[in-house]
Chains A and B, each alone.
Chain A
Amino acid sequence: MLQTFLDSLIADGTFGAIPRDVAYAIGMVAAGAAVVFGFVLNISGVTTFVERRVWARIQSRVGPNRVGPQGILQWLADGLKLLMKEEAIPYAADATLFKLAPFVVTIGFITAFVAIPFSSALIVADLNLGILYITSMTSLVVVGIMIAGWASNNKWALIGGIRAAAQIVSYEIPAALSIFTVILITGTLSTQGIIQQQGWGPWDWFIFHSPFTFIGFFVTFVALLAEGNRTPFDLPEAESELVAGFVTEYSGARYLFFFLVEWGNLYIIGAILVTLFLGGWQAPHITDSVVGMNILQALTFIVKSYLFVILMMWIRATLPRVRVDQLMTTCWKYLLPISFVNFMGTALWVMIWPQGFRFAEIVLTAMGFGLVGYFLYRVAFHLRRSGAQITLSPLS
């Protein structure tokens, strides 16, 4: 896509005498910058604002509403404030590693966006091992966190870093195994390839493909939550135990980077889940215009992913934190065996019904909707019982 576009530009002579490879490089950098500055930074920033407002609603508070209309620019103000703050580097810290850590974390986070699709045409690079690339790049974050924990020369930071390493390495296994179940069905690692094999309707999504993928979806969700250090698995930065975990000694712009990654990661988790299980950008074909379809697909993808971001905010506002032994028990004793069974089960399923089994898909879709319905019924029940007055309008 990008390559054809660049080829046409070179043929038109826009780049003049510049060699072909340099032109490609310029094009890649421009595309990367466009994604980073146009989307990644903004989505991280806006997510911080949205999270604060969502929490405020859940906790009967108002939330930030002063900077800009309804406080929508609060994240910019926060970011600017942190950028302008003095950065303190502890005297006893390993200064080089201390300065390096936030960049390692940020690189691991931003490079993951290369393979995350937005629509059938909008993707920085449709790598043929896309999903593997995303999981390995997000794992780079743990290296940065370890460096941060070690280099701070603070015991709380060190414990936070070690906890993060143990947690992310452990949960990588169930997450990867669950991702492989989808790859068994598709036979491709490319994110676009995975999405293209699904349809716009829920019955065509991989979550409802077989009972194993249905369970696999929840295993992936839990494992990715743990990998993203989100509540109830936010042990590395458990503020009531470890002060602030691996970010204890950070301040100013470097602190900002860690936060950027933390909130940006939410979107990545959502995007992975949507890509693998929930049909990605697949939208009903309502217009023949390529641009129109692409806008529709991008909107579908972002809205689906963002629903997960909101869900994770909700979880964080509700649940307490697990203890480190409970965290490991959950992973090694429950998630790992379940994901193994899923993996084998899906392999068998694909052997028996290579084209999918329509009946199971319909039944599972009905079950899925039943679950959502029951959930909404419980929510309504609790709202009635507590006599709470809810304001759904985000602007009130």
Chain B
Amino acid sequence: MSDAPDANGPDGDIAPDVAAVELDGVGKVFNPGRSNEVNALTGIDLRIAPGEFVTLIGPSGCGKSTLLRLIAALTDVTDGSVSVNGKTADRARLDRDYSMVFQRAGLFDWRNVSRNIELPLELMGWKAADRRQRSAEMLDLVKLSEFARHHPAELSGGMQQRVAIARAMSFDPKLLLMDEPFGALDEMTREHMQNELLRIWAETQTTVIFVTHSISEAVFLSTRVVVMSPRPGRISAIIDTDLGERSEATRDHPEYFANVTAVRNALRGDHAS
């Protein structure tokens, strides 16, 4: 498991021609040449096919959030190349190929919930009536319809994050980049949101890249788990965890537990080295 990962990943043989995301020898150094230089990532090769649900997991400082931000073109690579839907990462950003959900909900205090969800639609020039309708659908999806006119300060942290997810999904992005989006939610809400996310993922065929600290979350959600290790951040294992169609029963499935163990061992192997 801890062998150097194949560029095409375990299911590279069935991947369509154009990868959703292709990382080729990606490295990232912060503040190069200065005393506070940090080698955040090195030698990252990863190919993610359209429709996959890939989770990045690893200890703090392994560069998993940095990797997500490189794919989002919010920061530039130092080495190697990133392509999204066959374009450069920045071209994909300009084409609004992806949407991002951050650790913090980051809602705008002065906008009510509905208007927060409409933000990306406004930037894309949607008509007001269409925006309102879509925002209502998204609120329905995250089960916050009765809070449409509330302001973020009046919502709990979990509710705020559900609004942020609704906002991210509002324009049907081809790729969803999620940076520990459920970390702030209570366990019940979290499992509910996981089920909802899987349902949306199945319906929309969206590719999802998901960063988490939680092994069970990674295993339950993903088709593949990418295990990362720190200093410098690199991929130490890629584990195929596709459990097919998932439901609440999956959480008690023996294969699910086997996968949890596999990911945990991969993470431990990492600590030993």
- Do A and B interact? no
Interface residues of A (CB under 8 A from B): none
Interface residues of B (CB under 8 A from A): none
